[in-house]
């Protein structure tokens, strides 16, 4: 009697183990390829971000001829708290370059004022500069003006209040006593200090209901406290260094003891 198809299949079952191994190889190959593509895409994206981060301040310097734009761009990156991904570096470098360019052109009138005139000019400049910064920073990060009005409504006065705790007084003093070409670099320094020691953990736009006088006194208190601790640490380090130098210095040899005369009748 001839075998049926079912009999043949039962007698010679398909090699399922070989098929499973082949599927595993295909999955592993696909996973490796996807991993490579993902890593390549991330590397390419990081390269583009870093290119923009470098190109932005160079373009600002080429436009203004003021090296302070480079300093402001670097200050924005260095002063930003938290982990600095390539995306963060790109955003902050671009934001700093744009603001540095703005600062260069808007501080040009300082050349024509005396000290009192410079002080009067810089006070409203602080309010305008903060408005410009909030707008350009929002557009860079959100890529849309959507939500900008709400951000201004909730945070603009708070940002200005915080600005007068540290960067605004420094910028006003710099305007009064430094040549105009150094103003942008001075603004970069004050921006770094502001971001590192005044701004909240979520950035300058973090809502804060603390009254200005209290906020200013708190900032001053923190500054004096940090200065005191820094001075103490330096003094402790100097004392430790002096003590270690004293310990490691060679000790003078002890004077030789005088020879004891041998007793009479002793045999040497």
Per the listing, tokens 């402001």 go with: 72
Tens-digit pLDDT string for the chain (268 aa): 455 555 544 555 555 555 566 666 556 555 676 776 777 787 888 899 999 999 999 999 999 999 999 999 999 999 988 888 999 999 999 999 999 999 999 999 999 999 999 999 999 999 999 999 999 999 999 999 999 999 999 999 999 999 998 899 999 999 999 999 999 999 999 999 998 888 765 444 443 334 433 443 444 444 444 444 444 544 555 455 456 555 555 555 555 555 444 444 444 3
Strand (E) or helix (H) holding 129: helix 115-142
How far is residue 115's CA from residue 258's CA, in Å, rounded to a whole number?
Answer: 80
3-state secondary structure of 83: coil
Q: Where do the structural domains in the chain lie, given as residue ranges?
A: 35-209, 211-244
Report which DSSP code applies to 211.
-
Tokens (6 digits) for 1: 């009697």
What pairs with residue 203 in β-bridges? 200
Burial of 258 (0-12, 13-18, 19+ CB in 10 A): exposed
The predicted model scores a pTM of 0.63
How far is residue 147's CA from residue 138's CA, in Å, rounded to a whole number?
Answer: 9
Mark 219-234 as b/e (b = at least 16 C-beta within 10 Å). beeeeeeeeeeeeeee
Tokens (6 digits) for 18: 């070989």
């Amino acid at each position: 009697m001839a075998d049926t198809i079912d009999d043949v299949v039962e007698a010679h079952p398909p090699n399922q183990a070989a098929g499973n191994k082949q599927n595993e190889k295909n999955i592993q190959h696909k996973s490796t390829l996807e991993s490579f593509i993902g890593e390549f895409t991330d590397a390419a994206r990081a390269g583009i971000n870093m290119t923009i981060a470098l190109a932005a301040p160079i373009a600002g310097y080429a436009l203004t001829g003021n090296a302070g734009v480079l300093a402001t761009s670097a200050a924005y990156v260095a002063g930003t708290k938290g982990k600095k991904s390539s995306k963060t570096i790109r955003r902050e470098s671009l934001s700093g370059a744009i603001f540095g360019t703005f600062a260069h052109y808007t501080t040009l009138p300082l050349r024509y004022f005396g000290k009192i005139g410079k002080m009067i000019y810089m006070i409203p400049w602080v309010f305008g500069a903060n408005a410009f910064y909030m707008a350009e920073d929002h557009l860079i990060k959100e890529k849309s003006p959507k939500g900008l009005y709400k951000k201004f409504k909730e945070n603009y006065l708070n940002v200005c209040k915080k600005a007068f705790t540290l960067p605004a007084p420094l910028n006003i003093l710099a305007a009064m006593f430094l040549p105009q070409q150094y103003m942008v670099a001075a603004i970069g320094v004050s921006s770094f200090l502001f971001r590192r020691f005044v701004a909240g953990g979520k950035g300058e736009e973090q809502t804060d209901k603390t009254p200005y006088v209290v906020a200013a006194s708190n900032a001053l208190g923190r500054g004096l406290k940090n200065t005191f601790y820094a001075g103490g640490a330096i003094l402790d380090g100097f004392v430790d260094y002096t003590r270690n130098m004293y310990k490691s210095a060679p000790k003078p040899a002890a004077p030789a003891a005088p020879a004891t005369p041998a007793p009479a009748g002793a045999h040497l």
